[in-house]
Structure 1
Amino acid sequence: MKEKILIVEDDEAIASIMKEHLTKESYEVFWASTGKEGLEDFKKEEFQLVMVDVMLPEMDGFTLCKNIRWLNEEVPIIIVSAKQTELDKVKGLRSGADDYMTKPFSLMEISARIEAHLRRGRKKENYIQLDKILQFKDGLTIILEENRVLLNGYELSLTSKEFDILALMAQNPNKIFSKGDLYHHIWNNVDVNGNNTVTVHIKSLREKINDNIKKPTFIQTVWGTGYKFIGELNI
């Protein structure tokens, strides 16, 4: 059975190019031209991946991402937008997107990113062990088998990528991960622009787990090298 992809894009020319290309890649592709239409389509079909523009009529892409994430916590969402500032990228990832691509884009890169996200959906990587509950001092609990994170008893709303980053690092305490390492493990890909993607996700994750970059409790920056998890387990 073909994997279904929903493209939500108000520019018909761009949508047509993407749809034609992905159809040739053996995906079943659906197109919606407004945010509301995209949300209605998502409710009707079971999609394996969603691609969303930001500047959409009726409902903007950030709001659409939040609505999709409320309906489905697992489906990969890729934002494809001409908005290129770090603030836009952070806002997109916080709204529930797993990835953020900027226009103009190459069709080869789109194919590679889609395949990477879908591959992770088909088979979880071995580095995530789903049979543990990790409880740390300072109130952090990671329930790996349920993809849940709590801080002082309150459940946090993490994106799938943020959870995967936290789970990977927490299961390998004090191991230094470069940005390239994290991008390879979490996105299952190698990309010259991957470092920026990791930086944005780490920044968002730190804010959600209330981690002070100057006096970190959980994620420490190793300057010039990467990051390591320094949380103390409750024993």
Structure 2
Amino acid sequence: MIITGDDPEYIAFVMARLHDQFLMTDLGPLRYFLGIEVSSTSDGFFISQEKYIQDLLARAALGDERTVETHMELNVKLHPPDGDPLPDPVCYRHLVGSLVYLVVARPDISYHVHILSQFVSAPTIVHYSHLLRVLCYLRGTITRRLFFPRSSLLQLLCYSDATWACDPSDRRSLSDYCVFLGGSLIAWKTKKQTTVSRSSVEAELRSMDLLTTEVT
């Protein structure tokens, strides 16, 4: 159980009442929880998953220490039948599932994880090579963190975008958005649109609609 708030006296009161009813231990300020690392400073606090990434890279057993500056090659289009099927797709599915959880603190890989997730049912060697590239990118950017300032304007700033007809198999577009509360990133998503958009303008409007729903 995690107890948060800005009133130390009331937090102490709640802790005391919980101690009366349950067997529990006070572990002090939050440092690490479910693979998420939290570090606090006078200006705010940082959320990262550095140890989680290290464990993920160890499980992937990459053969070298290579890093890359980008997640995927520019304008790459992945298709379901690309390349030969993987002899053992379990590893691919396991790594992609781990990346889905990693998006909790690494929104910069959200789009790429969305793409790779579409091939978990029948991954190929080509899909696996692009997955390894994302892992190499994470190795080179392992110290990146999300920062949440202590003092920030309570003002929502929202951004949306769309990639029109980017899926070559069904011609559907992708919607992307992110929401800031002041200087804090609080929500983000990459999602394939449910219907085919006939123009880039229509794709953008659908993305704005998804964002508006989230904000509302």
- TM-score (normalizing by structure 1): 0.27
Higher helix share: 1
Alignment TM-score, normalising by the size of structure 2 = 0.28
Q: Which has the higher contact order (CA 8 A, sep 6+)?
A: 2
The structure with the larger Rg is 2
